[in-house]
Amino acid sequence: MESVKTVFYRPSSQRQASVLIIDKSRMPRIELLGGTKTVGRDYPTADSDIRLDSSIVSRHHGEFFYNESDRNFYYIDKNSTNGTYINGKKLEPFDANGSAPYRLNDGDIIRIDKRTLNNPYPESVLMIYSRTFSPNDKWIPYNLSGKNSITIGRDEQSALRLKDIMASRQHAVLSNFGGTWMVYDQNSRNGVSVNGVEINGNAQVFDHDIIKIANTTMILWGSTLFYNTVSDNSPGGSLSVHIVKKKIGKKILLKDIDFEAQKGDFVLILGGSGAGKTTLVNAILGESKADGKIILNGLDLYANFKKMKSQIGIVPQFLNLWLNDTVRNTLLDKARLKLGKDYSTADINKHVDDVLNKVGIKAHENKLISQLSGGQKKKASVASQLIGFQQVFICDEPDSGLDAASRIQQMEILKDISEDGKIVMVITHEPDDAFSLFTKVVVIAKSSVDNAGHLAFYGDVPGALDFFGVNRLQEIMIEINPPYEGGKGRADHYIEKYNNMVRRR
């Protein structure tokens, strides 16, 4: 009988993104991006999609556009009078149409100014490209006039109190010395960054600079500090993987791996034996750095590894928990270690209860780990990572050794975790058990040309089935695996096909 492909809803490939804007109006606002949106000065007959209240903005200053082939947003400066700066660097003219397209990453800072960035023009414009800002976000002004110093943190005594579970109780201090602002990290757990760069102890903050504390974004604008409110249960953001190559000695293991996931994504990683799945995971974890960048919520993981390493967790294939301890005590120990003194006993107990309920093992909290079934042990392993507020979870065969029903249940739990605002990435040999749960698929294939793992596909599940011309995810492995592993040996074909698709404009 002729096989029939399963038909189900295919979401739009276009990713949600936005820019936060502050111009002469001095109030932050959010503009959603989609397709192509032109940027220009606001005046009575203006025809730009995004209109900026500033005399130094050209009538047709720039444009944002979405590239379907590589699923990224870009910005072009249209040879404007005063130009556009991105992350402190001015875009240079490329041709008569404007600058070369600049691919945007979460947290990129876009400035329009006619003076130095540390001494902004009164009508300068600030824009922040974001994967996490929402039009419903509240941006709160904090008046700094007459203040020499303010404390920032979760503590009720902080002058600026953050309702952000990842912020420390006493996280930072912002002080003014004769008109010069300085920010001091108070040995916080998750650090402080200024303009996307993690500070080492303290740093000077200039007008229009961006301070990031955990999930809270702060903007110094004259005598006002704007900051956004964040939800405690949605601390995720975006993960951008840009690997040029990964070598051990002279041998290249991975090459040209480029993809991005957002909070809520449940990502399947597919690849044959020796294709580089484990190498990719270690590069994302930062345990074995690659040539390239891993950008988490706008910050470079490699450059800020000490503070950021705890934000990406791995659930290993094999159990690594102490067998002669109870489930609850195991999580309490993990919580005390990962959260430290910054969280009270009541905070920790509540968080442990939340995690136990989330993964479905609250009823077994007083059992020894050794007394749990195989499926319950897998859940305990997931819980031990979830306890630390990680934003990215990488799960290496979390369903191995389980029966079909338990495999599906395990994947549903991981899907729920992703929907809580995390990014969950899974390696599994039974992908079709949960094919309808995955939002994205990463396929790594080993090239016969250089014996390195290359990206052979990145997109949604329906797109993967269409791209490889198969009915099931498992059949992708047959397409790319070599004949000696029971495959058709077409890895090079699909690597080239995907590269051509990405290059196509």
Helices assigned H by DSSP within 92-172: none
Q: Which of 34-38, 174-178, 302-306 has the lowest mean pLDDT?
A: 302-306
Q: Cα(263)–Cα(13) distance, rounded to whole angstroms?
A: 15
pLDDT at 296 over 50: yes
- Residue 342's pLDDT is what? 73
By percentage, how much of the chain surpasses pLDDT 90? 47
Residue 7: the pLDDT is 29
Cβ neighbors of 395 (< 8 A, separation 6 or more) are 314, 315, 382, 414, 424, 425, 426, 427
DSSP strand pairing (251-262 vs 453-459): parallel
Average pLDDT over residues 415-424: 84
Candidates 88, 327, 38; CA nearest to 210 is 88
Q: Closest by alpha carbon to 133, among 12, 22, 258, 10? A: 22
Q: 279: exposed, middle or buried (C-beta count within 10 Å: 0-12, 13-18, 19+)?
A: buried
Angle at 220 (CA atoms; ends 215, 223), nearest 5 degrees: 140
Higher pLDDT, 256 or 381: 256
Mean pLDDT, range 67-93, rounded to an integer:
91
When mean pLDDT is compared across 2-11, 126-135, 367-376, 379-388, the lowest value belongs to 2-11
pLDDT in tens, 425-450: 998 888 888 788 999 999 999 999 99
Higher pLDDT, 38 or 332: 38
Q: Band of the pLDDT at 422, cuts 50, 70, 90? A: confident
pLDDT of residue 180 exceeding 70? yes
With the C-alpha atoms ordered 307, 312, 317, 323, is the resulting torsion angle positive or negative?
positive
Q: What is the pLDDT of residues 444-476, one digit of tens each?
A: 999 999 999 999 999 999 999 999 999 999 999
Question: What is the predicted pLDDT for the residue at 317?
Answer: 63
Instruction: Give the three-state DSSP class for 139.
Output: strand
If you average pLDDT over residues 480-485, what whole number do you get? 90
In the 8-state DSSP scheme, what is residue 326?
B
The tally of CA atoms less than 13 A away on the side-chain side of residue 3 is 6
Instruction: Dump pLDDT digits (tens) for 199-236.
Output: 989 999 999 999 999 888 999 999 999 998 765 444 45
User: Strand 139-143's sheet: what is its strand order?
Assistant: 139-143, 224-228, 216-221, 210-213, 192-194, 197-198
Instruction: Give yes or no for residue 23 having a pLDDT over 80.
Output: yes
Average pLDDT across the chain, whole number: 86
Q: What is the structure's pLDDT at 319?
A: 63
What pLDDT is attached to residue 28?
Answer: 93
pLDDT at 492 over 50: yes
Please, are residues 117 and 26 in contact by the beta-carbon 8 Å criterion?
no
Over range 93-113, report the average pLDDT: 93
Average pLDDT over residues 49-66: 96
Q: Regarding predicted confidence, which is higher, 231 or 257?
A: 257
Please state, for a pLDDT cut of 70, what percent of the chain lies above it: 93
Place of tokens 């419903």: 136
CA 303 to CA 374: how far, in whole Å? 38
| Predicted local confidence at residue 312, as pLDDT | 86
For residue range 366-392, list pLDDT tens digits in order.
999 889 887 788 788 888 878 877 888
| Beta carbons of 295 and 239 less than 8 angstroms apart | yes
pLDDT reading at 15 higher than 60: no
Q: Please list the alpha-helical segments (H only) found in 104-220.
A: none
